[in-house]
Amino acid sequence: MPFAFTLPTTSSVLLSDYFDSATHPSLPLTATTKRSVLKDALKKHKRLAPRDRAAHLPAVHNALNNYIPYLLAINTASGFRDVGPERIDLTIIKPLEVEWRTTLSTPSPGREAPRQKLTGIHYEVAFTLSTLGYVQMLLARSQLRSIFDSTRALSAEQRTAAITGAMKHLLEANSIHNYLLSLLNLSGSKDTPADIQPSTVSALASLALAEATLIVVLKDDPYAAAVTDDRNASNTDWMFKAPSIPKVRAHLYARISLAAADYASEAQGLLSKSGASTGRLDNDLIKYATDLRRTSRGKAARFLAIDADLSGKTGDALAWLKGARRELGIPIDTEEGKPKGFRGLKQSWHERREDKKVETSGEWGMDAGKLDEIRVVEMLEAKWDRENSTVNVQLVPPYEPLLASMPSGREYHTTQPYTPPSLDASALALMRAPPEPDERAFRGEEDDSGKEDQFQGRSAPGAFPGSGAEYGRSATSNSYY
């Protein structure tokens, strides 16, 4: 469900080369050590196989939370402000120069995005907090994976716990991105990477809130759970228990889904704007925001269909499902709820491929849950169509007027401001002691990821004219043997 963000990597930096403190001389050295641990954690995370990265996320999360207090203390002191109860006398030797590898910017085809050289501590703060927001989204993603894994059967308590944990991470991601937006020294110039442009950060905040709002209905949605259980060969609940949902909640969930669609639409617009202005924002992220808006509106139409069916209006319910298909962007020419011909074969293959990704921890859910919602709509459409054809025959009205009469969205979450971790009085007191003459900051155990860039400029042999020199062959030689 949440977008599969790629965590950035960064260069090795000795902060004592850029900052000096007369009152807390150990602060730059300690901050360098904490940053080096973070650099190592990000580099190690990048090297791991995709299936092993979810288990390593807590280590990255801890490294970020350990570094952020020192970084924000330096940032605050550089602006001549007090850090908590103390005043830190900080001298800026020269502007901080760091390198971060952008992950939301579109790289050249077949190449990894290069690291960008950035001057100013506000860039360091922006990339560090953005990375923390990505980690929170990925933690929510790992929580939700267990729900969509068809090889495991979760109890109601396990399902609720996973969704509640994911919701907490998503709301925290929203708060982090909003906090980053509130920083007055976040540059919005054209030279700022697309990853930390204000429009991109605002879009990510809306995207996290849209996800957090949408999974509210997932917790109590029996039809989504029934479709997941139906794919599990060992599940037998379908033999004696049919999904049901109270009428009042069906209409309430429709309005909550529409609120999620509004947030996703806002994120889509901001990402499109940021991509148009910079010309290098990842198209997969923009497509994901579009699919999330479609999924939310399709889910809202499906809940309104359930509300109509519970009122005995099967014809209206089938019309709402056709509207759900329209919102999801899938054809309406179906037979018993399933697409016809080659289109149906292609969709079945896509469904099996997506299930395999969930089982192997691949990049599942990059369609923002649209495929799972399509499955629910098809299941209900096949069921109600049979009932309407045999028991209570009702005319199916046009779906366009129904979509035009959709209610307004209803807010569910009350977001809380992000409170970054801060240094306590004891930690500040320890940094009043000057470092030992032979004391050195920890520079990390992993190689600097910038060393990989030496291969970025080399073309693939045979791909471009002049690549023969990479094989040690003379440029004037015409011999291929």
Output the six-digit token pair for 19.
């900052």
What is the rounded CA–CA span in Å between residue 173 and residue 168? 9
What is this structure's pTM?
Answer: 0.84
Residue type, 443: R
| pLDDT for residue 367 | 84
Please give the full DSSP string across 228-285, using - where no structure is assigned: HHHT-TT--GGGT------HHHHHHHHHHHHHHHHHHHHHHHHHHHHHHHHS-B-HHH
Nearest alpha carbon to residue 409 among 264, 270, 234: 264
Q: Are 26 and 433 in contact (CB under 8 A)?
A: yes
Determine how many CB atoms are found less than 10 A away from the CB of residue 336.
Answer: 11
Which residues of the chain register pLDDT less than 50? 233, 238-240, 336-337, 341-343, 345-346, 349, 357, 453-481
Delimit the domains of the chain by residue range.
Answer: 15-404
Please give the full DSSP string across 81-94, using - where no structure is assigned: --BTTB---EEESS
Contacts (Cβ under 8 Å, ≥6 apart) of 210: 260, 261, 263, 264, 267, 292, 296
Nearest alpha carbon to residue 117 among 89, 138, 97, 88: 97
User: What CATH fold (topology level) applies to the domain 15-404?
Assistant: 1.25.40
Output the six-digit token pair for 139.
């933690």
Q: What is the DSSP letter of 105?
A: B
| pLDDT for residue 477 | 42
Express each pLDDT in 89-137 by its tens digit: 888 999 999 999 988 886 665 567 778 889 989 999 999 999 999 999 9
Beta strands in 176-233 (DSSP E): none
Determine how many CB atoms are found less than 10 A away from the CB of residue 419.
Answer: 8
Q: Are 372 and 354 in contact (CB under 8 A)?
A: no
Express each pLDDT in 310-329 by its tens digit: 888 999 999 999 999 999 98
Residue type, 255: R
| pLDDT for residue 460 | 44
Q: Where are the alpha helices (DSSP H) in 97-221?
A: 121-148, 156-182, 198-219
User: If you compute the radius of gyration of the chain from its CA atoms, what whole number of angstroms results?
Assistant: 26
| pLDDT for residue 36 | 93
| pLDDT for residue 388 | 85
What is the rounded CA–CA span in Å between residue 149 and residue 258? 26
| pLDDT for residue 371 | 86
Express each pLDDT in 199-226 by its tens digit: 899 999 999 999 999 999 988 888 877 7
| pLDDT for residue 187 | 52
